[in-house]
């Protein structure tokens, strides 16, 4: 007899059908039916009467219900205590996400769970997929495509592409910036040979523009630090561009620009799922606030 048998039994007792129990447990209806059949074989008792798509508990089911409820309450209580321990939550993301998005999300989680510890790993999107799938980290910030059979993905945001420049730059007066606007500008571009960079190179090529690339780097935060020094202009996904757009920087939408889909990845059956879900909710809140704040700032500065 396993926990899954007990959970299926309780769900059927609560709902009266395997279909509704499956929805409650987020499994398939045949799985629930199989578990109930296995439990009946284990106990040697017929537990339910089946009629018109409903399951009515027999006396044998009513007799074992209190003990099963007690057993499940004990296990769930243990899970809750494990959630409250100081075991570190291992999170991974590129550098800019760790500082601009994970930082505020960690602070919010600690307001309710002050004993929680963290290990924050800085990795590329590609490295994060493997780290989460192998169990090295509990939660990773990834960019589509990020398919892996071991992972469950939580959608965060799909954003466009922004040009990041100083507030005193002449192009800051424009509502949006086209590739032709950047034809003579010094550029700080990201990620040579990576998909986004390849897309940018194609955009410039189609416009017949040879970009004047002064600096190449791998992190949006690094690119924006060069922009802040007046060394040029960078182009980045709108989420991290707007997260970095402070201290004299502003963002403008880049026309005909690629879209970027961001997600959080964790194992399909993660440990400390409650803490993980709570942290993921905070990450999504922070991302949405950055995008909302960025839209407002761009509109104000362009008018």
**Same structural domain for residues 74 and 211?**
no
Q: Which two tokens stand for residue 97?
A: 């996400």
Number of domains in the chain: 3
Range of the domain at 65: 3-83
- CA dist 239 and 81 (Å) reads 36
Query: Is 164 in contact with 235 (CB distance < 8 Å)?
Result: yes
The CATH number given to whatever domain includes residue 43 is 1.10.10.10
Does residue 160 sit in helix, strand or coil? coil
- 47 found inside a domain: yes
Q: Which two tokens stand for residue 54?
A: 């409903």
pLDDT at 295: 60
pLDDT at 226: 96
pLDDT at 81: 59
- 199 found inside a domain: yes
- 231 found inside a domain: yes
- Angstrom distances, CA of residue 169 to CA of 174, 175, 227, 248, 249: 10, 13, 11, 10, 9
Domain edge (last residue) among 29, 52, 83:
83
- CA dist 226 and 264 (Å) reads 29
- 98 found inside a domain: yes
**Digitized pLDDT (tens) for each residue of the chain, 303 residues in all:** 788 888 888 888 888 888 888 888 888 888 888 888 888 888 888 888 887 768 888 888 888 888 888 888 877 776 665 555 557 899 999 988 999 999 999 999 999 888 889 999 999 888 999 999 999 999 999 998 888 888 999 999 999 999 999 999 999 999 999 999 999 999 999 988 788 999 999 999 999 999 999 999 988 999 999 999 999 999 999 999 999 888 899 999 999 878 999 999 999 888 778 889 999 999 999 999 999 875 654 444 444
The CATH number given to whatever domain includes residue 182 is 3.40.190.10
**Same structural domain for residues 149 and 15?**
no
pLDDT at 110: 92
Stated pTM of the model: 0.66
């Amino acid at each position: 007899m396993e926990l899954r048998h007990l959970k299926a039994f309780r769900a059927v007792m609560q709902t009266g059908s395997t279909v509704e129990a499956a929805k409650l447990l987020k499994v398939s209806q045949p799985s629930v039916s199989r578990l109930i059949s296995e439990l009946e074989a284990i106990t040697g008792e017929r537990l339910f009467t089946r009629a018109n798509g409903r399951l009515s508990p027999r006396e044998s089911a009513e007799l074992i219900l209190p003990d099963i409820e007690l057993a499940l309450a004990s296990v769930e209580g243990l899970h809750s205590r494990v959630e409250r321990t100081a075991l570190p939550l291992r999170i991974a993301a590129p550098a800019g996400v760790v500082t601009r998005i994970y930082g505020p999300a960690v602070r919010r989680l600690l307001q309710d769970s002050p004993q929680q510890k963290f290990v924050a790993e800085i990795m590329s999107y590609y490295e994060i997929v493997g780290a989460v799938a192998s169990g090295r980290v509990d939660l990773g910030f990834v960019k589509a495509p990020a398919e892996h059979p071991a992972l469950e993905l939580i959608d965060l945001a799909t954003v466009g592409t922004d040009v990041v420049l100083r507030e005193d730059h002449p192009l800051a007066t424009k509502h949006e910036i086209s590739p032709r606007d950047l034809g003579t500008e010094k550029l700080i571009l990201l990620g040579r040979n990576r998909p986004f960079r390849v897309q940018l190179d194609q955009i410039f090529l189609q416009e017949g523009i040879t970009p004047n690339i002064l600096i190449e780097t791998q992190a949006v935060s690094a690119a924006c630090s060069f922009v802040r020094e007046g060394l040029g202009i960078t182009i980045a996904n709108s989420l991290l561009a707007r997260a970095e757009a402070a201290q004299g920087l502003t963002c403008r939408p880049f026309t005909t620009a690629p879209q970027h889909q961001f997600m959080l990845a964790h194992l399909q059956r993660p440990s400390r799922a409650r803490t993980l879900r709570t942290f993921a909710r905070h990450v999504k809140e922070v991302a949405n606030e950055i995008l909302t704040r960025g839209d407002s700032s761009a509109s104000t500065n362009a008018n």
